[in-house]
Structure 1
Amino acid sequence: MTAGQDRAAHEIDTTKPHPARVYDWFLGGKDNYPVDEELAAQLLAVEPRGREIARVNRAFMHRATRWLAESGVRQFLDIGTGIPTEPNLHQIAQGVAPDARVVYADNDPIVLRHAEALLRSTPQGVTEYVQADVRDPDTIFGLAKQVLDLDRPVALSLIALTHFLGDDDGVYELVNTLMEPLAPGSYLVLSQVTGDFDPEGAKRATALYAAGGVTLRLRSQAEVTAFHDGFELAGPGVVLGAKWRPEIGDEAAHEGDDTIPVYAGVSRKIS
């Protein structure tokens, strides 16, 4: 890791909530601070199923990764990695294909502290971690291409990330920029929380995040589907997370999972 990355480990701001740490709290993790727990508790007052949203989202990532590895994908770029929660993406991928190569990227210094856990690859494969923001594709790809062969298919995972990017971030253009260097046959794996089923609750959640200095932009099914424009959607398309190929998963389904407000989909770059 670079000296800049090492310095970043000491720049954790514990006065403001961070999405990765709030997500960690929802998943039952310990790598969060009182400010993150406070926001999570406020969010639970608005949407009591916050923990279930995190779990369903995580389960989609597991299934999509397994499906891609079983379909022959051997390279993965996971941006917005978050704090490690086992099994991590590389464990799923390398469990199917031990030679899989995985690059993680995140902008939260606390994730850097856990990079050692992320880097425990199989002997046949490779895992690496990049300290960078999704809005800085040049840095991400400058380091990722040292591990990934961009002339071969790569699965780009943007799991529970785009709802933290506002319209003024040019989010659709950003996703296309991230897909542009990838070879034909690459995939986009994307999940995003929606306010389709509770617009008033969505407004309150957005305001709570804004009070903590965090952007939250919930999107409709049509808006989430638009991230896949120009790519070939894999069946069943962009659907609620629990309904995306549930037969693949090891996780037991829970009553009500098919109403959890997370849209998810996988698409393939044709050219």
Structure 2
Amino acid sequence: MITKDQFQKELDLIIANAIREDVGDGDHSSLACIPSNVTGKAKLLVKDEGVIAGIAFAKQVFGHVDPELKVETLISDGEEVKYGDIAFYVEGSSQSILKAERLVLNAMQRMSAIATKTKQYVTLLEGTQTKILDTRKTTPGIRALEKWAVKIGGGENHRFALYDMIMLKDNHIDFAGGITKAIQKTQRYLLDTKRDLKIIVEARNLDEVEEILQTKGVYRILLDNFDYEETKKAVALIADQCLTESSGGINENTIRDYALCGVDYISSGALTHSVHNMDLSLKAV
């Protein structure tokens, strides 16, 4: 997985690029009618319910735009919120608050939606050994925010990107000439390049599970689009030889049944690609 420093660099890039995109050569709406020496105060108002996420990121945005802005937090990331709650106050240059406003809201609305959905899935898994994972099905350019939101909601991150874990899926296997060849070539590649990366291999049926198990060194087997009975058989077959992961169309109606099959992880792209933003507003006080 990526380091804290790498993750922070991703956040810094997101903030810098978003401000560049939104502000350009100046926030002329504010510059036109608000003197530069005017100060003000605003509150982050919750107009929805769910799990709040992105407060720590908002503080980074305000600090990037204007280090003199002061943020007073009333609610922490990961807490349940309801309509009318105030998450934080921000005080300082009115121009600076308005410059940061849209990025803060866009990020927090989406992060809170993802955290809320993740918490829903985590709750459905209570009492089982199974943990929920995100995927790479994220919005281009803001993956770090979306994966951060999954963690805030109580889920776990899969690999961050293509560079921090090996994942041999159906196309890799087919292009490589089969499962065994794909795994062996990967293991040679890791030795040749002196890289220490975990290997996940996708299985499309029980025969492929058996073939994967014949080659040692696989960290986790991904059971893709298996039904309940196939999943139970695969889990029994794999036993403690490596970890197991279920994926493929699993939703809130089926996730617990898959967990009860005994898999270690369930991955869901829906955590990040199918959410409805939480309604939040930044209002002057």
TM-score after normalising by structure 2: 0.29
Bigger Rg over Cα: 2
Q: Which structure would you say has the larger RCO, counting Cα contacts within 8 Å and 6 or more residues apart?
A: 2
TM-score after normalising by structure 1: 0.30
